[in-house]
Amino acid sequence: MNPRIPIILDMDTGIDDALAIIYALQSPTLEVLGITTCFGNGDVATTTRNTLMMVELSKHTVPVYAGARDPLVGQFIPTAEAFHGRNGLGGLTDHRPQLRAEAESAVDYLRRIIRSRPGEITLVVTGRLTNLANALNADPGLGFLIKRVVLMGGAAFVGGNVTPVSEANIWGDPEAAWVVFHSGVELVMVGLDVTMQVMIEDAQVSGMDPRRAYTPVIQEALDFYLAAYNPGQPKGHRQAPLHDPLAVAVAEDPSLCELVGYPVDIELGGTMTRGMTVVDRRSWIRNDPNVLVCQSVDRERFLREFCTRLGFPLLDPGSVGPL
């Protein structure tokens, strides 16, 4: 039997991060060593509480470490409430997990665990890259000890979601993204190019396995998420993207996506382009690739595994309604 793949999740736990936590904790091949949190889909107190809530409901034991409150430059600007709700999980129920975060900070934890297992750990970041950038700034050699960073973020050849060209996780701290993209660490970018192709639908949410402890919380959260992504659409005809679970799935099995190496940089200025992931496609320029960009995804294979693992019914591809 192959040894499990040691990973750390770094998240801004809103609704799709919550699904990603369950996907990772229920994986037969991933070993989740710890989860670090960051501002993003809420302030860091909210995203940490949501993370603890999902660990608790998944009935796993994983340490959680609270991380950055603010980006490298300026202060956290909340923008995600429309998609993740007042409390990051749809906004209706206030959750009070029993679990508590560790006393150690996210950055201290990242530095300690990565140095204790050089070359072994994959970091999956589904929020701003702030914690990793802070760790790299404090300990510049750290990047060479990380096996790989798989990030949900950016938009290589498609438009953005917060601005016409910027994706939320990069837009929320472009300076941090710049530090990571220039660090020399192996980067796999799971951007909007592929995450907007893996959708969850109403019929899956209503048909969730009622025996799982997390089902009521996830159903409430996904009802909000589906409404946010489909304004004006009636229930039964709504779809919304599984951004963050796809990043975990690619960390587990990179063959789910077609990965192509490109030089990618982060726009820090611009009047309309701050936070853009700028991909250099000029084949005649000798500029070494720094990012493996996910260009396409085996949508059906991912959705089959996602639904089976989390207790959603499988749908006939392209239709609305259970098989």
> Which positions lie near ligand BDR, rule CB under 6 A?
14, 16-17, 41, 80, 83, 126, 152, 161, 167-169, 243-244
DSSP bridge partners of 189: 151, 293
| Angle made by CA atoms 183, 188, 193, in degrees to the nearest 5 | 125
DSSP 96: -
| Least distance CB 150 / ligand BDR (angstroms) | 12
Rank residues 244 and 267 by Cβ distance to Ca ion and give the closer one: 244
Structure tokens that stand for 180 in this block: 């990571």
- Report d(CA 13, CA 84) in Å as an integer: 9
Distance CA 162, CA 23 (A): 26
User: What residue type is assigned to position 57 of the chain?
Assistant: L
**Other CB atoms within 10 A of residue 230 CB:** 15
| Binding partner of residue 128 among ligand BDR, Ca ion, none, CB cut-off 5 to 8 Å per kind | none
> Using CA atoms, how far apart are residues 280 and 61, in angstroms rounded to an integer?
42
Residue 95 a catalytic site member: no
Q: Which one, 19 or 25, has the nearer CB to ligand BDR?
A: 19
Residue closer to ligand BDR (CB basis): 193 or 252? 193
- Give the bridge partners for 187, in sequence order: 149
Interface contacts to Ca ion, rule CB under 5 A: 12, 17, 126-127, 244
Catalytic residue from among 60, 182, 237, 243: 243
Residue 168 has a CB neighbour count (10 Å cut-off) of: 24
Residue 46 vs 126, nearer CB to Ca ion: 126
Cβ contact 306:249 at 8 Å? yes
Q: Which does 168 bind (CB under 5 to 8 A by kind): ligand BDR, Ca ion, none?
A: ligand BDR
CB of 218 to ligand BDR, least distance (A): 14
Using CB distances below 5 to 8 A depending on partner kind, what does residue 160 bind out of Ca ion, ligand BDR, none? none
Shortest separation between residue 43's beta carbon and ligand BDR, angstroms:
14
As measured in angstroms, the least distance from the Cβ of 9 to ligand BDR is 12
80 binds, options Ca ion, ligand BDR, none, Cβ within 5 to 8 A by partner type: ligand BDR
Decide which of ligand BDR, Ca ion, none touches 167; Cβ closer than 5 to 8 Å per partner kind.
ligand BDR
**Residue type present at position 23:** Y
At closest approach, how far in Å is the CB of 237 from Ca ion?
A: 25
Give 150's strand partners.
124, 188
> Which residue numbers are catalytic?
243
